[in-house]
Structure 1
Amino acid sequence: RILSVGAYSPSRIVDNDEVCLKIDSNNEWIVERSGIQERRYAAEDESVLDMAVKAAKIAVERAGIDPSEIGVLLLASCTYPYLTPSAAVQVAAQIGAVGIPATDISSACAGFCYGVGMASDIIRSGNAKYALVIGAEKLTDWFLDDDRSIAFLFGDGAGAVIIGPSDTPGIGPTVWGSDGTQTAALGIAPSFIEQRKDPANNVPMLYMQGQTVFRWAITEMARVAKEAVDAAGITVDQLDAFIPHQANNRITDALVRSLKIPEHVHVSRDIVTSGNTSAASIPIAMSRVVSEGSAPSGGLALIIGFGAGLAYAAQVVTLP
């Protein structure tokens, strides 16, 4: 089960009015289309690694364990700028967990839930007692601030959880998958190789076919979320919280309607103040739920991540 959660958000707050200094838009349009009022931007010299380490240290401290007890580290990110070595091995070293198996997960916004599923299986197999799963992103490195299609959506940050043994299962079966026929809907392009071969190409930047992703999310992800609830052997009435990837408030609204989530279930809308932080969005939102007491410790939460690939993963978890 998840024993603890920690999050780190950069100090710089960027509201919609500031974003609109570079794009032809306004606060009302951004709020209507996404629900976002502000987001956090990392400092120029603040990296994915820096944010991941800060979130990880909080999660480790709250779990009451020593970093040396961590048996595996999984780091979900699509914005770490180096192909190798992985970010995970460097985070492990910086938090004092040298020598453990550590690897990155490149599943974009679904990455954190992929990590939770993998960590749960690793612990069940006996290959580790504790697992550290991190989602960390610096999306501001990967888009132009005058790109009207996406500049208002994204923010930076990191979140982390410690997963450990439990007398009763605290992480339900993972419902996950992908649709590789829609790779063109969301990603980073061109590749560094393409840019090197022809300097006339733009440097790699984030792109998104917003309507394609939106339609896919509101139709397919409702089915995936329902399957995750069924796989956990519960009903939506038994949930205490719904913590979806913070992609867009309109997507969240559509999922709430499709799943018929009752009013007593807390629905995370961290996107309002954090923006879309890709793989970091679910643990950041979960940390807020726990710290604000929006759902009880030991309560059940449905988490679901979805994004570039297109890839998705969902599970029901017990809140720390």
Structure 2
Amino acid sequence: MLQQRRGHEFTRILAFGAARGENVVPNDDLVGPIDSSDEWIRQRTGIITRKRAGKDVEAVDLAEAAAREAIEKAGIDPTQIGVVLVSTVTHTVATPSMASLLAERIGATPAAAYDISAACAGYAYGIAQADSFIKSGLADHVLVVGAEKLSDVVDPTDRSISFLLGDGAGAAVVGPSDFPGIAPTIWGSDGSKWDAIGMTATYNEWEAGAPRPTMRQAGQTVFRWAVWEMVKVARQALETAGVRPEDLAAFVPHQANIRIIDEFAKQLGLPETVTIARDITTTGNTSAASIPLATHRLLEEHPDLSGGLALQIGFGAGLVFGAQVVVLP
């Protein structure tokens, strides 16, 4: 009979790390090419400024900084990491992965390492996999990183998404626990809306003479889907965890748009006791990095949230989604 691994019964997030682009970009710097205004962007998105990295900084550099902080705060050695997962859509090459390079940079080699392409849901996908790996015995500690340099794929004249996007990386170390720290994940996809968020051209079309591919979205389609369909997913995540809205200490949705975040909170019936992440106002939409960045900021500003329950939900291009309730470190 083949031998089988047995892992840990429970898992939890041990620590977070964060890195944001070093440049603060106010709305006024972006309104000219899209014939807009600071007031319009604030009203439509809630964004006042966003963080963007310099030309010499790549997403993996942000990932490294966030990962090092998370590992140090978790109190482990990089050699104890068994798997490195990086959620990103802005790696500079199609292959090899950002994760394998990151593993080498932080001293986690020979950890298993691969990238996850699930856009704004990528971090939640990574947490789901980390939880599974530790419970199955594949690893004792997993590093989950969301890292994006979205300013590399922005068309300054695009009115659908360009003014939303920022650069950053958020990291979490997941490890074994004496108590349940990560509830079952609710995840999935809706490929019928595959083209709602994406690139303006394929690489083959670019080679044939099309403009360089940049990001764009069908804003109203995404807004309606996020507000109506993702609320159902969030409720399912709460139900699966055996948690009521009033049991939550925090709500950390993907930082897509402040109107989506506020409508989420309203539809879920979150009481005023629940702290809601609104990192988008000064960081922008950082896709896979947005949930760990927002959580890191919440814990810095509200350390009393430590040990409380947080509902996190990511949703984006694909369209894909993932949600789970976690215990905050």
The answer, yes or no, to whether TM exceeds 0.5 is: yes
Instruction: For residue 302 of structure 1, report the CA deviation from its aligned partner.
Output: 0.2
The code of the aligned residue for 2:291 comes to I
Q: 1:298 aligns with which of 303, 307, 325?
A: 307
Asked if the contact 2:196/2:218 (under 8 Å) is kept, the reply is yes
Asked if the contact 1:76/1:136 (under 8 Å) is kept, the reply is yes
1:141 maps to what in 2? 152
Change (3 A) 1:294 1:17: farther
Instruction: For residue 189 of structure 1, report the CA deviation from its aligned partner.
Output: 3.4
Asked if the contact 2:162/2:215 (under 8 Å) is kept, the reply is no
Instruction: For residue 296 of structure 1, report the CA deviation from its aligned partner.
Output: 1.7
Greater alpha carbon shift after TM alignment, 18-27 vs 66-75:
18-27
Asked if the contact 1:20/1:26 (under 8 Å) is kept, the reply is yes
Q: 1:96 aligns with which of 87, 107, 124?
A: 107
2:13 maps to what in 1? 2
Give me the whole-angstrom Cα distance separating, in 2, the residues matched to 1:193 and 1:317.
42
Given the alignment of the two structures, is residue 202 of structure 1 paired with residue 211 of structure 2, yes or no?
Answer: yes
Give me the whole-angstrom Cα distance separating, in 2, the residues matched to 1:64 and 1:29.
45
Instruction: For residue 293 of structure 1, report the CA deviation from its aligned partner.
Output: 1.5
SS at match of 2:194: helix
Given the alignment of the two structures, is residue 22 of structure 1 paired with residue 37 of structure 2, yes or no?
Answer: no
1:51 maps to what in 2? 62
1:193 maps to what in 2? 204
Q: 1:123 aligns with which of 124, 134, 137?
A: 134
The code of the aligned residue for 2:34 comes to I
Given the alignment of the two structures, is residue 274 of structure 1 paired with residue 275 of structure 2, yes or no?
Answer: no
Given the alignment of the two structures, is residue 256 of structure 1 paired with residue 242 of structure 2, yes or no?
Answer: no
Q: 1:176 aligns with which of 160, 182, 187?
A: 187
Give me the whole-angstrom Cα distance separating, in 2, the residues matched to 1:295 and 1:264.
12
SS at match of 1:165: strand
Given the alignment of the two structures, is residue 74 of structure 1 paired with residue 93 of structure 2, yes or no?
Answer: no
**Deviation digits for residues 130-170 of structure 1, max 9, x if unmatched?**
00000000001101112222221110000000000001110
SS at match of 1:164: strand
Instruction: For residue 105 of structure 1, report the CA deviation from its aligned partner.
Output: 0.3
Given the alignment of the two structures, is residue 38 of structure 1 paired with residue 49 of structure 2, yes or no?
Answer: yes
Give me the whole-angstrom Cα distance separating, in 2, the residues matched to 1:193 and 1:95.
35
Percent identity reads: 51
Question: Which structure 2 residue ranges, 5 or more long, are not aligned?
Answer: 1-11
How many residue pairs get aligned? The number is 318
Instruction: For residue 191 of structure 1, report the CA deviation from its aligned partner.
Output: 1.5
Give me the whole-angstrom Cα distance separating, in 2, the residues matched to 1:189 and 1:130.
38
> TM-score, normalising length from structure 1?
0.98
SS at match of 1:177: strand
SS at match of 1:304: strand
Asked if the contact 2:147/2:288 (under 8 Å) is kept, the reply is yes
The code of the aligned residue for 1:160 comes to A
Change (3 A) 1:267 1:166: same
Q: 1:240 aligns with which of 249, 260, 283?
A: 249
Change (3 A) 1:42 1:166: same
Asked if the contact 1:289/1:295 (under 8 Å) is kept, the reply is no
Instruction: For residue 205 of structure 1, report the CA deviation from its aligned partner.
Output: 1.1
The code of the aligned residue for 1:278 comes to S
Give me the whole-angstrom Cα distance separating, in 2, the residues matched to 1:296 and 1:258.
23
> TM-score, normalising length from structure 2?
0.95
Question: Which structure 1 residue ranges, 5 or more long, are not aligned?
Answer: none
2:5 maps to what in 1? none
Question: What is the aligned-residue RMSD (CA, Å)?
Answer: 0.9
Give me the whole-angstrom Cα distance separating, in 1, the residues matched to 2:15 and 2:68.
11
Q: 2:295 aligns with which of 281, 286, 311?
A: 286
Asked if the contact 2:158/2:216 (under 8 Å) is kept, the reply is no
SS at match of 1:312: strand
Asked if the contact 1:266/1:295 (under 8 Å) is kept, the reply is no
Instruction: For residue 292 of structure 1, report the CA deviation from its aligned partner.
Output: 1.2
